[in-house]
Amino acid sequence: MINQYEFGNQKLSFDIPKIMGIVNVTPDSFSDGGKYFSVSDAVDHALKLIDEGASIIDIGGESTRPGSDPVTEKEELQRTIPVINKISQLRNDVIISIDTTKSEVARQALDSGAQIINDISGLTFDDNLIEVAKQYNAGIVIMHIKGNPKTMQQSPFYNDVVKEVYDFLSFQINKAIEKNINKINKTRTLILLLTIE
């Protein structure tokens, strides 16, 4: 069983739950939209979350709340990359993840100091995302979504929600393993990441 991963000069062990601090650099996220939209506010909030015990800081530049509209790659880059650069400069003892479904955003985030790609689509919106993860030896958080953020609450239907989500995640894990992504838990045991905002 893999219970420890290396991210740059940091090691992350899953022997105990870890806290992921969420920083939404957006005007419209469902929980904190607009509160940390400037680079300075986002960085200050990230530093506060680190001081409060976050092991990972997750930076997102596109709201994925139900009904939200997509943003362009350019806009997402303008929102996230300066924040990642600054946090990396100030605190190289924290692991940074980029919350994106776009491979170019992931690539530039990894170049700027991020070590994990957090993809709400579970590697289904952008086929190149898994190749970027492989190239950078990045970790991947594989999530599940029905449709896209704009449509996800328009009569979603499952015959067996637990089985269908499990099967999807299992399939995507195997897809990542086949691409030699090694920072993923191959045992399919539950890894608990507590999030704080």
- pLDDT confidence tier of residue 193, bands split at 50, 70 and 90: very low
- The phi, psi pair for 8, rounded to 5°, reads 60, -125
* Count of domains for the chain: 1
Which domain does 72 fall in, by range? 4-196
| pLDDT at res. 33 | 54
| pLDDT at res. 152 | 59
Contact 117, 141 (CB under 8 A): yes
For the chain, give the mean pLDDT. 83
User: Which of the two residues, 155 and 17, has the higher pLDDT score?
Assistant: 17
| pLDDT at res. 161 | 84
Instruction: Compute the distance between CA of residue 72 and CA of residue 77 in angstroms, rounded to an integer.
Output: 9
Q: What is the CATH number of the domain that holds 93?
A: 3.20.20.20
| pLDDT at res. 93 | 85
pLDDT in tens, 76-123: 999 999 999 999 999 988 999 999 999 999 999 999 999 999 998 989
Instruction: Compute the distance between CA of residue 137 and CA of residue 150 in angstroms, rounded to an integer.
Output: 31
Instruction: Compute the distance between CA of residue 187 and CA of residue 184 in angstroms, rounded to an integer.
Output: 9
- pLDDT confidence tier of residue 28, bands split at 50, 70 and 90: low
C-alpha separations of 93 from 66, 77, 114, 174 in Å: 34, 23, 12, 31
- pLDDT confidence tier of residue 53, bands split at 50, 70 and 90: very high
**Mean pLDDT, to the nearest integer, of 125-140?**
92
Whether the predicted pLDDT of 1 surpasses 50: no
| Bridge-based pairing state of the strands 116-119 and 4-7 | unpaired
pTM here is 0.84
| pLDDT at res. 189 | 39
How many residues appear in the chain?
A: 197
Whether the predicted pLDDT of 127 surpasses 70: yes
Neighbours of 189 (CB within 10 A): 10
User: Which of the two residues, 146 and 127, has the higher pLDDT score?
Assistant: 127
DSSP label of 62: S
Instruction: Compute the distance between CA of residue 86 and CA of residue 113 in angstroms, rounded to an integer.
Output: 9
